[in-house]
Amino acid sequence: MCGIFAYLNFLSPRTRDEIIKILLNGLKRLEYRGYDSAGIAVDGGDVPCTNGHKAVTILLKRQGKVAALEQEIEAARETLNFKLTFDTHVGIAHTRWATHGEPNWVNTHPQRSDANCEFVAIHNGIITNYKDIKAYLVKHGFEFESETDTETIPKLMKHLYDTHHLQHPSNGTKHSITFRELVERTIQQLEGAFALAFKSSHYPGEIVVARRGSPLVIGVKSKTKLATDRFPVLYSKDRTSFCTSSSELEECDTSTLAPVGSGNELEYFFASDASAIIEHTNQVIYLEDNDVAAVGPTGHLTIHRIRNSMDNPLSPTSREVITVKMEIQEIKRQIQYIHAEGDL
């Protein structure tokens, strides 16, 4: 199984070196799941590209183990300023078990929407209708570089983003559609199973994750107590066409996950299981199928749920912040046991 790990530090300054180490350590906690390549995406900004511009998002990927990716990153120290500090930053990381396409750089996640990496995604699962989506996107001028089903996702997101802005001018505002709305519109075109995490240069400092059939857990770390340990889930309408208006969203008032008091510093961790999070925080939220969780520009977490005809009317309408009791040493023992069993 593929492994997902992402990290967002909101008003909690971290150097690029610290961010990358957190991402790599998260991947190491997920190695027991099995994989054949690994990669991360972090903010660029100060890193030059061959075209003379500066990279907004940097992809660092490598076939093989996380140790090989570490070597790749270490070799880039002359290019990357590891001391550069980010007050707010989103980084995503992935270990891939090849299903569509052999293990190599271009097939390794994160997958990107275009050469400028406007949208990047990591994915655990299989998209069963990716050929239909790919054919649709090719007709609209998109060129594909990988053999993966995952590449269709950020490319579809870019198509929807570009189309939405052409049809609905923002009238002076920065965006006429939120990152979370854009992800919802994208994943409602997908068939199959997935856990997904998204990063975009159009929405710096924001992250959106979603799950359907593949596990995903969120860890929250704050200096002060959280304002709530249970908050309601909003519902959004189901859509089946590639292009629909964001006005179709069905929403109500909500509370967001935020700290009490004047301290706004927050750190979020997103992973395939809690073993990758517990060394940072023991406060976790387990997402359910059709949940879409987003951290927006205020640093607060909200969770939406896509409403469809298959919804169970008895399913919980809120998500609870759970205190995980598992100790890191116990997690290490479990991982060692799994590795030992695999060698038998």
pLDDT digits (tens, 9 = 90+) for 29-42: 999 988 889 999 99
106-134 confidence digits (pLDDT tens): 899 999 999 999 999 999 999 999 999 99
**Residue 174 pLDDT:** 63
Q: Quick one: pLDDT at residue 253?
A: 36
Exposed e or buried b per residue across 99-116, where buried means at least 16 C-beta atoms within 10 angstroms of its C-beta = eebebeeebbbbbbbeee
**Mean pLDDT confidence for 248-259:** 48
pLDDT averaged over every residue in the chain: 83
Ordered structural domains, the chain, with CATH:
3-342 (3.60.20.10)
pLDDT digits (tens, 9 = 90+) for 307-327: 655 555 556 678 888 888 755
Q: Is the pLDDT of residue 252 over 50?
A: no
Active-site positions read 2
So what's the pLDDT on residue 147? 93
What would the mean pLDDT of 63-68 be, rounded to a whole number?
Answer: 93
What pLDDT is stored for residue 338 in this prediction? 47
Selected residue with higher pLDDT from 173 and 110: 110
- pLDDT grade for 211, boundaries at 50, 70 and 90: very high
333 or 257: which leads in pLDDT: 257
List residues bridging with 221 in a β-sheet: 267
What pLDDT score was predicted for residue 175? 66
Q: Which residues of 137-169 are buried (b: 16+ CB within 10 A; e: fewer)?
A: beeeebeeebebbbbbbbbbbbbbbeebeeeee
Comparing 165 with 284, the larger pLDDT belongs to 284
In this predicted model, which residue has the larger pLDDT, 45 or 77?
A: 77
Average pLDDT of the segment spanning 40-56 = 72
pLDDT, position 242: 46
Contact 218, 269 (CB under 8 A): yes
Can the peptide bond before residue 110 be classed as cis, meaning omega within 30 degrees of 0? yes
